[in-house]
């Protein structure tokens, strides 16, 4: 683990507020992207990320720093998502106005139809395959890093990525007229 | 490796997660399997598309719009949520003031390096394809050319390229001499350069007693494979009796050329003791001697090539001297890719043209003129510029979306890894350029027509 991250983990474990700020700042984008592909909805994704950070804060004292912070957060995010699927987490959204925040959401940029299609197909993949795919393509993680995040052997990640692409291909072929 | 195994290995290769052993097996498979080569390109395109589309769906500027969530049912976490709120606020202010966005200089450097790595990989693949294509074309042309020194030279150049592509694995040979000679011939006769390289390396391990068996296999070969094997067998037969012997300078110099083209000059030293050993100058053949010992060559006014030369103003023609370039074989074929091949191939071309001129009855002066002329043409090839490798701005942007989330430690680690990868790829590209250059020089020699 790099020295900067070791310091950050030590501060998190000590419950320092600046450390939580820094963690959010460093990892929000990454988790949000992953969460978007898990939930399929930007709003749900934001909630999932928030649940993840809350859970991370709660268990920071138990984080021994053996894995990378990213790896740990991704594992938490996946757990939170699983809890949600099992109906044990209900995300409730409040309007921005209700929260007293004046900043309105920016309109989503136009997304090409083929991008929308691939997103839909990615979302139809089982969670294990989808997460491996997203961590590889969006986060640029190596097999080893993905394996640590998903707590499985490297060979499994290789198989999952292979399977994910095969399924995507089959879906696309099935879509052809 | 079967096609099914290859398909999985292709994915790992495209993901840059393949180990060296598997890569070698895959490359050997791809060299032979057109279907899997097509599969590689299709999967590369598909993988690029997934990466591009996913990144397009989440462009950096539209991410990170953290919302504030009021969670009344978790009042005990309001404090914690407030902390996060601060975090978001920091992130938002940071992004709006440019503290965290746009991507840092480090991220841009890593993205640029990633794109450079892609560019080197593309160039390496492109050159590898060209080498295979051009070697096959040159092979076909050489097979149609008449037997002679130029065809010998082309065969050595093609086999030099094949030898460089053999990889680290050795060809497993059966213990029975006849079977192993047959296996070497079988590998030698394939169109695939890497397999031919394996055969060349296996040939070197065979004992001299196997050479008659290898010679019997020559009938099963054709084109440059046949020529190369003939030359190799010939090098074992190389006769060593003196063909030209001259006493010069009142007996102070003794000039000898053997039937295998080896050239030797013994010079008496000016020592006071009569029993002092003479100084000996040797070369594999006339041209090699002239290059290696320019002073003594100038003193002797040495001109021409093997069996057709002038020394101290005396012309010598000796058809018994072996003119086939067996003497060049170690220098041309066995030398590794790290050695500068240009000069050797150049010398091989000069040797071939001069030998052909002598065979056609040309004078020493005419052979010298043609030798210089072909050398100039070959040198022009070696200055060919293949174009620099530069990162594609589109790819830089694509990689920026992948790396901008990395923290500074992650960026530093990635940068180090990329530096190593790029350096290794650069070396590979240089190797491929060297191989291509060697083939182009051989083509010039094959096509040479004296003015």
Identify the pLDDT of residue B367: 92
How far A50 CA sits from the closest chain B CA (Å)? 8
Q: Which among B59, B67, B87 has CB closest to A109?
A: B59
Task: Residue B405: list chain A partners with CB under 8 A.
Answer: 26-27, 29-30, 139
A167 to chain B, minimum CA–CA distance in Å? Answer: 12
pLDDT at B250 over 50: yes
Mean pLDDT calculated for residue range B264-272: 79
Helices (H) and strands (E) in chain B, counts: 17, 7
Altogether, the residues listed in chain B come to a count of 451
* Minimal C-alpha gap between B127 and chain A (Å): 27
**In this structure, are strands B314-317 and B242-248 parallel, antiparallel, or unpaired?**
unpaired
Residue with tokens 């000898």: B256
- Chain A residue numbers with beta carbons less than 8 Å from the beta carbon of B94 are 25
Contact A54 B81 (CB under 8 A): yes
Instruction: Locate all alpha helices (DSSP H) within chain A, ordered by sequence.
Output: 3-13, 17-39, 42-59, 69-85, 113-124, 127-137, 143-150, 154-175
Q: What's the alpha-carbon Rg for chain A, to the nearest Å?
A: 18
**Most confident segment among A32-46, A120-134, B308-322, B329-343:** B308-322
Size of interface A-B (CB pairs under 8 A): 153
What is the structure's pLDDT at A175? 59
CB contact (8 A) between residue A93 and residue B69: yes
Query: What pLDDT does B78 receive?
Result: 43
Strand partners, B246: B255
> What's the pLDDT score for residue A21?
79
B353-364 residue pLDDT tens: 998 998 888 999
Contacts of A28 in chain B (CB under 8 A): 64, 66, 87-88, 91
Q: Do B405 and A29 touch (CB under 8 A)?
A: yes
Find the residue in A nearest to B85 (Cα). Answer: A21
Q: For residue range B399-409, what is the model confidence (pLDDT) as tens digits? A: 888 787 778 88
Asked if A151 reaches chain B (Cβ–Cβ under 8 Å), the answer is no
Binned at pLDDT 50, 70 and 90, residue B74 comes out as: very low
What three-state secondary structure class fits A67? coil
Q: Where residue B198 falls among pLDDT bands split at 50, 70, 90?
A: very high
The angle at the Cα of B312, spanning B307 to B313, to the nearest 5 degrees, equals 80
- Tens-digit pLDDT profile for residues B7-19: 889 988 888 888 8
Looking at per-residue pLDDT, the higher value among A113 and B195 belongs to B195
A53 chain-B contacts, CB cut-off 8 A: 84, 87
Q: What is the pLDDT of residues B50-65, one digit of tens each?
A: 888 887 777 654 444 4
Q: How many CB atoms lie within 10 A of CB B98?
A: 8
Cβ neighbour number for residue B39 with a 10 Å cutoff: 17
Q: Report ipTM (2 d.p.).
A: 0.71
Predicted local confidence at residue B365, as pLDDT:
92
* Cβ-defined contact of A119 to B57 (cutoff 8 Å): yes
Q: How far is B49 from chain A (nearest CA, A)?
A: 9
Over the stretch B153-189, which tens digit does the pLDDT of each residue have?
Answer: 999 999 888 988 887 778 889 999 999 999 999 999 8
Q: Residue range B204-208: average pLDDT?
A: 90
Residue B366's pLDDT band (cuts 50, 70, 90) = very high
Compute the distance between CA of residue A94 and CA of residue A106 in angstroms, rounded to an integer: 17
**How near does any CA of chain B get to the CA of A79, in Å?**
19
In the stretch 38-67 of chain A, residues with CB closer than 8 A to chain B read 43, 46-47, 49-50, 53-54, 57-58
Q: Report the gap between the CA of A157 and the closest CA in chain B (Å).
A: 11
pLDDT band at residue B97, thresholds of 50, 70 and 90? very low
pLDDT given for residue B90 in this prediction: 40
Report CB contact under 8 Å: A122, B91: no
Q: What is the pLDDT of residue B414?
A: 86
- Name the residue among A2, A54, A116 with its Cβ closest to that of B409: A2
Higher-scoring residue by pLDDT: B247, A174: B247
B399, B111 contact by CB (below 8 A): yes
CA distance A63 to A154: 23
Residue located via tokens 């990615």: A122
Provide the pLDDT confidence category of residue A103 given band limits of 50, 70 and 90.
very low
Q: What is the DSSP letter of B230?
A: H
The CA distance from A33 to B55, in Å, is 10
Choose the closest CB to B91 out of A4, A28, A142: A28
Are B90 and A118 a contacting pair at CB < 8 A?
no
B279-283 vs B303-305, strand pairing mode: unpaired
Nearest CA in chain A to B14: A162
Question: Mean pLDDT in chain B?
Answer: 81
Nearest CA in chain B to A47: B69
Q: Which residues of A touch B49 (CB under 8 A)?
A: 118
Report the residue from A27, A108, A142 with minimal CB separation from B17. A142
CA separation, residue B8 to residues A87, A161, A163, B203 (Å):
37, 10, 10, 34
Tell me which residue in B54, B80, B92 faces A138 most closely, judged by beta carbons: B54
pTM: 0.54
Whether the Cβ atoms of residue A76 and residue A31 lie closer than 8 Å to each other: no
Q: Across the interface, do B405 and A96 touch by the CB < 8 Å criterion?
A: no
């Amino acid at each position: 683990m790099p020295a900067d991250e070791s310091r950050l983990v030590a501060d998190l474990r000590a419950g320092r507020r600046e450390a939580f700020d820094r963690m959010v700042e460093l990892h929000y984008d990454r988790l949000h992207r992953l969460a978007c592909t898990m939930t399929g909805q930007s709003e749900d994704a934001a909630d999932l990320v928030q649940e993840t950070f809350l859970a991370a804060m709660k268990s920071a004292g138990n984080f021994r720093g053996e894995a990378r912070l990213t790896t740990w957060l991704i594992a938490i995010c996946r757990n939170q998502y699983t809890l949600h699927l099992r109906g044990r987490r209900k995300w409730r959204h409040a309007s921005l106005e209700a929260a007293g925040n004046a900043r309105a959401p920016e309109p989503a940029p136009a997304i090409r139809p083929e991008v929308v299609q691939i997103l839909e197909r990615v979302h139809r993949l089982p969670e294990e395959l989808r997460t491996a795919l997203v961590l590889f393509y969006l986060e640029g993680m190596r097999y080893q890093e993905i394996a640590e995040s998903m707590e499985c052997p490297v060979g499994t990640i290789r198989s999952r990525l292979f399977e994910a692409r095969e399924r995507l291909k089959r879906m696309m072929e099935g879509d052809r007229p | 490796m079967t096609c099914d195994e290859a398909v999985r290995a292709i994915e790992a290769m495209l993901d840059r997660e393949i180990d060296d052993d598997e890569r070698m097996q895959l490359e050997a498979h791809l060299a032979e399997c057109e279907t899997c080569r097509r599969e590689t390109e299709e999967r590369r395109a598909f993988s690029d598309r997934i990466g591009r589309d996913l990144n397009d769906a989440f462009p950096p500027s539209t991410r990170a719009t953290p919302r504030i969530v009021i969670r009344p049912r978790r009042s005990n976490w309001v404090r914690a949520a407030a902390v996060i709120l601060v975090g978001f606020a920091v992130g938002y202010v940071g992004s709006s003031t440019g503290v965290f966005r746009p991507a840092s200089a480090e991220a841009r450097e890593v993205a640029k390096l990633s794109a450079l790595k892609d560019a080197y990989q593309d160039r390496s693949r492109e050159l590898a394809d060209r080498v295979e294509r051009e070697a096959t074309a040159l092979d076909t042309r050489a097979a149609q050319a008449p037997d002679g020194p130029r065809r010998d030279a082309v065969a050595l150049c093609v086999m030099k390229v094949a030898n460089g592509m053999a990889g680290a694995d050795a060809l497993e040979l059966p213990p029975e001499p006849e079977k192993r000679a047959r296996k070497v011939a079988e590998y030698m006769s394939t169109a695939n350069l890497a397999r031919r390289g394996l055969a060349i390396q296996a040939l070197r391990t065979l004992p001299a007693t196997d050479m008659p068996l290898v010679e019997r296999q020559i009938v099963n070969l054709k084109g440059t494979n046949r020529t190369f094997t003939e030359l190799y067998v010939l090098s074992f037969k190389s006769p060593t009796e003196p063909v030209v012997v001259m006493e010069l300078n009142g007996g102070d110099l003794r000039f000898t050329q053997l039937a295998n083209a080896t050239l030797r000059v013994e010079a008496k030293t000016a020592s006071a003791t009569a029993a002092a050993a003479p100084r000996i100058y040797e070369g594999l053949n006339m041209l090699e001697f002239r290059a290696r010992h320019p002073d003594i060559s100038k003193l002797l006014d040495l001109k021409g090539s093997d069996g057709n030369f002038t020394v101290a103003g005396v012309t010598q023609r000796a058809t018994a001297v072996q003119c086939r370039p067996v003497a060049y074989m170690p220098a041309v074929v066995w030398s590794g890719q790290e050695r500068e091949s240009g000069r050797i191939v150049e010398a091989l071309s000069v040797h071939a043209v001069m030998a052909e001129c002598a065979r056609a009855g040309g004078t020493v002066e005419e052979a010298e003129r043609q030798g210089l002329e072909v050398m100039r043409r070959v040198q022009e090839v070696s200055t060919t510029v293949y174009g620099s490798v530069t990162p594609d701005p589109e790819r830089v942007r694509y990689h920026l979306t992948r790396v901008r989330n990395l923290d500074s430690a992650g960026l530093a680690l990635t940068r180090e890894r990329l530096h190593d990868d790029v350096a290794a790829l650069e070396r590979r590209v240089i190797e491929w350029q060297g191989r291509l250059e060697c083939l182009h020089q051989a083509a010039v020699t094959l096509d040479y027509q004296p003015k």
